[in-house]
Structure 1
Amino acid sequence: MRFALLFTMASICFGFGVGVGESAAHAEEALSPANRAEAVQIIADLRHIVTPQGIERHEKIRIGGIDQWVSIRGTDKRNPILLMVHGGPGWVSMPTSWYFQRGWEEYFTVVQWDQRGAGSTYATNDPDAVAPTMTPERMIADTEEMVSWLRKEFGRDKIFLLGHSWGTYLGLEVAQRHPDWLYAYIGVAQMTNMPQSEREGWQFDMDEAKKASNAQAIAELNSIAPYGTGSKPITVASLMIQRKWLNQFGGMVYQRTGGQAEGAAMSLSPEYTDADVDKVGEASQYSLNKLLGKVITLDLSRIQKLDCPVVLFLGRHDHNVSSSLAAAWFGKLQAPSKRLVWFENSAHEVAVEEPGKTLVSLVTYVRPLAADAPVR
């Protein structure tokens, strides 16, 4: 397997540190996973929480009348809670959090949540039974219930809510309705005027296609033109063409052709079973089919005032959800305090693309806003 060479080389390096011969052989035996289960166990062991005040939970809770999965992790449960509301709709962050989240857990109790119709929550429930409830209103209500459950479960008046992409819509709605529940709202890849964002994304694609003299891209993009204009809704098929080329030209992950690496990382998630991993794509398509039409017609620039602190993390090269539109909206937004952090080497997947800067920014700009929370 592809793991074998990587871990054989690792064992050689360990051998030089502890002695050659038998020690190196033992290292190779311990570090060479033969299958997904063994590779996942290595990751789980590395990130296992061992501190006296630590917390490491992975469980189903009842939200909105169905079982929904959460992961709750941190080295000190007295730290403030940070709920990450994932994007998509249906593109979960729990199964890649093993890569980007470990540092966060020293400063926050971090909660990953697979939303209705997504990830392991999708795999746990009957999709046909859940289908009638796949509405923006129900998703907002689920988010409110999730925050309420955390506040009650951990005896906290406030938490941090971090939304990514689609999750920024849900997060903004909670921040508007319940600012007293939040230390701050953190928007990553913030959605604002989505019809305009879609049009700008198509234009980015076309400009890049012409620079590259990519005849196929130009032809496919022309086939969906005019894109996102007039009263005709954007179809899933048209959006997939726009996203295909946007991904190819680095508008989703900077200087990469899409999110293949992140998608592959899901298969190494300690929280996910084989069945969960197998259904990630199916769940994502299910959620898109149910919610996409509403998502790409949203105009969140109507929100001009929030009564809690606001922090935005924006990728300079994000054309999946326009970061320039988000910055313009943020400039006009009224809030008790606000801060915009630019990630110069990121597009849409800030936490994965620049995990170090994400951690430093959370610790520097977000953590101090929980002034009444105990400091580690």
Structure 2
Amino acid sequence: MFKCLLLALASLCAAAHAVHAADAPGAPEAPRPASRAEAVAIIADMRRIVAPQGVERSEMVRIGGIAQAITVRGADRRNPILLMLHGGPGYVAMPTSWYFQRGWEDYFTVVQWDQRGAGKTYAANDPALVAPTMTRARMLADAEEMVAWLRQEFGKRRIFVMGHSWGSSLGIELARRHPDWLHAYIGMGQITDSPESERRGWRFALDAARADGNAQAVRELEALAPYAAPGAPVPLKDLYLQRKWLGHYGGAVYNRRGFDAESAAVRLAPEYSDAELRTLWEAGDFSSSHLLAQTIAMDFSGITRFDCPIVIFNGRHDYNVSASATAEWYARVRAPSKALVWFEHSAHEMFNEEPGKMLVSLVRYALPHAERAGDVAP
């Protein structure tokens, strides 16, 4: 017995030595992906849906007269549909969904959709032909068509719609117009009074710059005054300058300076070809040039009565879309049921910033609405 123990200890020591040797200077490098293709293949295989009732689709659907890109992923197609309306305009969520979404798919059939003029949808269509259709009315009509298509395709009477930032401006209208289509509406970075949100974001950035002694930021932000004055449109160049410093001081992503980490993660998106990635940011600029000025002028603060449940996920440090303005609006909302969930360590990207809490919150605050309707897998 003693001899066996000595042999086992010798084997463990040899293994430990091998591990340390691999880390030593001059040791051969550990294997690693040699290309984007290898990296995304690893991610795709790790997140592959293998459950017998699962669904894993990536396709083009004809919506609003053009081909529009979606992914549909879930461990059991009998679970409720959750459609995510991305922000921006043009800031698609599909290419980072490999990071934040996998847990959702055990409870929901999750649909990512690259809207008109964005992401893979932009790459699949002639921008010159799409440009005249880049209106808010057309975008809302697209959202209505997409919800109708999902309900028919999957045999669902109701689905969940979750709108983020720009997408929340579409989502709130869907909730108001079509409550009978929804188990609940979920808003993240919910747009309410956009001009007031802009003013609060500017004030946050200016106060942070002054506290930091950042003379350049103070000078540039003060030059914007009166920023987002009532009745005056905000020039996009002023908006971008405000956003530069707002992001620098963590008002977009908490304790980070902007979206650099998320932008880098986009390169690992299994759903995107190299060609589609090359046009991704061009698509964002295209969408913003047509829709952003109108977006930051919108005021939904008077829409407070809904006939479907309302769930709001609010980043405590969100100044990109003012969390405080959203909370004030929420206090006046009347709905069959409502819930406000604070993400204490998030700004505008709670699904990336606190993915664990995001999953728990979806299961706790949204899923019961589908359970009560019998729209979950046995």
| TM-score for both structures, normalised by structure 1 | 0.92
**Cα gap change, 1:55 to 1:332, in 2 (>3 Å):** same
Aligned partner of 2:117 in structure 1 is 117
1:362 equivalent in structure 2? 362
Aligned to 1:162: 162
After TM superposition, the structure 1 = structure 2 runs for residues 314-329 of structure 1, keeping only pairs within 5 Å, are: 314-329=314-329
Residues 116-151 of structure 1: CA deviation (Å, up to 9, x unaligned) = 010110111111100111000000000000000000
SS in 2 for 1:369: helix
The question of 1:374 aligning with 2:365 is answered no
Whichever residue aligns with residue 220 of structure 1, its letter is: E
What residue ranges of structure 2 are gaps of 5+ in the alignment?
1-13
Q: Give the ranges of 4+ consecutive aligned residues of structure 1 lying more than 2 Å apart after TM superposition.
A: 28-31
- Aligned-partner residue type, residue 374 of structure 1: V
- Which residue of the partner structure matches residue 271 of structure 1? 271
TM value normalised by structure 2: 0.92
Which residue of the partner structure matches residue 331 of structure 1?
331
Q: In the alignment, which residue of structure 2 is the partner of 1:290? A: 290
Q: Which amino acid letter does the alignment assign opposite residue 182 of structure 1?
A: L
Deviation at 1:87, TM superposition (A): 0.4
- Aligned equivalents of 1:290, 1:230: Cα separation in 2: 22
Query: What SS class does the counterpart of residue 340 from structure 1 fall into?
Result: strand
Q: 1:283 to 1:16 in 2, by over 3 A?
A: farther
Match in the other structure for 2:9: none
Q: How does 1:229-268 map to 2 (within 5 A)?
A: 229-268=229-268
Once residues 254 and 20 of structure 1 are traced to their aligned partners in structure 2, the CA distance between those partners, rounded to angstroms, is 37
2:8 paired residue number: none
Give, in angstroms, the shift of residue 279 of structure 1.
1.2
* Cα distance between partner residues in 2 of 1:331 and 1:300: 14
For 2:316 and 2:179, the matched residues in 1 are separated by 28
| 1:55 matched to 2:59 | no
Higher deviation after alignment, 217-226 or 350-359: 217-226
Q: SS at 1:300's partner residue?
A: coil
Instruction: Letter of the 1:130 partner, please give it.
Output: V
| Residue in structure 1 matched with residue 340 of structure 2 by the alignment | 340
Once residues 361 and 252 of structure 2 are traced to their aligned partners in structure 1, the CA distance between those partners, rounded to angstroms, is 21
Distance change (3 Å), C-alpha of 1:16 and 1:272: farther
Residues in 1 aligned to 2:365 and 2:202: alpha-carbon distance in whole angstroms: 33
Name the structure 1 match of 2:198: 198
Distance in 1 of aligned mates of 2:377 and 2:77: 11
Identity level (%): 59
User: What is the root-mean-square deviation in Å for CA atoms of aligned residues?
Assistant: 1.9
Q: Distance in 2 between matches of 1:119 and 1:338?
A: 32
Q: CA offsets per residue over residues 168-192 of structure 1, 9 Å max, x none? A: 1101111111100000000011100
Are 2:95 and 2:270, in contact at CA under 8 Å, matched by a contact in 1? yes
SS of corresponding position for 2:183: strand
Alignment partner of 2:102: what SS? coil
Shift of 1:16: 6.2
Which residue pairs with 2:91 in the alignment? 91
Look at both structures and tell me which one has the larger radius of gyration over its CA atoms: 2
Give the whole-Å Cα distance in 2 for the aligned partners of 1:55 and 1:346.
Answer: 31
Match for 2:366: what amino acid? V
